[in-house]
Amino acid sequence: MRCLPVILAVAGVWMFATEAVTAGPPYPLKPKLEFDESSPYAMIVFEAGPQTITRDWNIKVYAFDPDTRAWKNSPLKGLAIFTKIRAQPEGTSFHAALVSPAGTYAVSSLNTQGFWNACFNGGTKAFQLQAGKVNYIGLLDPKPVLEKIFADLPDKTQQKVLILFDTPRVALTPPAQRENWEADAASFIKERFPKVIAPIVAAEPMEATFEPGKSILGGKICERY
């Protein structure tokens, strides 16, 4: 199997998310979603930057313990996996999910086409996600990581998952450096989820690292629990 670049023409300054999201229930988010300050869930929102390197990409965000540098998610709690974020030559797209429990989360890895992965164990971003809030974490730029995947991993695989460790870094512009982030996030929420009335807050990123894990077969994997 070969990883091939795909260039798609997508116009617009910013657009709505159309990717699938895996998170602790309720998921996926529906237009009639009701969400306010009384909710035990936290909403995470980010912008995805443009890229034309591959047709789509995926990002994993998990509950994280910064003291032990270990992941705290389970199959149904403490995770948000955004999949099939589409290529676009310009502009940004907004993406959202609900997570439970609220607390500290971090970006684990980015991958494309299921087999090519960049693990952020050497340097990632963590966030404090507040319950009953729309937590905007900033603009995530996939391009540098995708370029590194294509440069450092083989472009063919026989159904084997390939993982790049240690050197990939999350390219994230924090809310404080994003002009008009609050107005843009509010517009996205109003258009996509008109019944969401929770306050929008900035979840400023914190630097974090973590140790990779081992699979039951002895191979090296991204997450250690």
pLDDT in tens, 115-171: 999 999 999 999 999 999 999 999 999 999 999 999 999 988 887 899 999 999 999
Other residues' Cβ atoms within 10 Å of the Cβ of residue 116: 23
Is there a domain that residue 2 lies in? no
Q: Which residues contact 132 (CB under 8 A, 6 or more apart)?
A: 35, 36, 37, 38, 39, 40, 41, 42, 198
In a domain, 91, yes or no: yes
In a domain, 6, yes or no: no
Let me know: does 151 contact 53? Beta carbons within 8 Å: no
Number of domains in the chain: 1
Average pLDDT of the chain, as a whole number: 89
Query: Is residue 139, in this structure, part of any structural domain at all?
Result: yes
221 phi-psi bin (left φ>0, alpha ψ -120 to 50, beta other): beta
Mean pLDDT in residue range 193-208: 97
Q: What type of residue sits at position 43?
A: M
The alpha carbon torsion through 61, 66, 71, 74 (nearest 10 deg) reads -80
Q: Which pLDDT does position 10 carry in this prediction?
A: 29
Query: 6-10, 56-60, 163-167, 221-225 — which is least confidently predicted?
Result: 6-10
Residue 3 lies in a domain: no
Angle at 183 (CA atoms; ends 10, 7), nearest 5 degrees: 15
Q: Pull the structure tokens for residue 156.
A: 């063919």
Residue 51 φ/ψ, nearest 5 degrees: -165, 150
118 is in which domain, residue-wise?
14-221
- Other Cβ atoms closer than 10 A to 8: 12
Give the tokens for residue 19: 């990717």
Confidence (pTM): 0.89
Query: Is 135 part of any domain?
Result: yes
Decide if 140 is inside a domain. Answer: yes
Domain presence at residue 178: yes
Q: Count H helices and E strands in the chain, helices first.
A: 2, 17
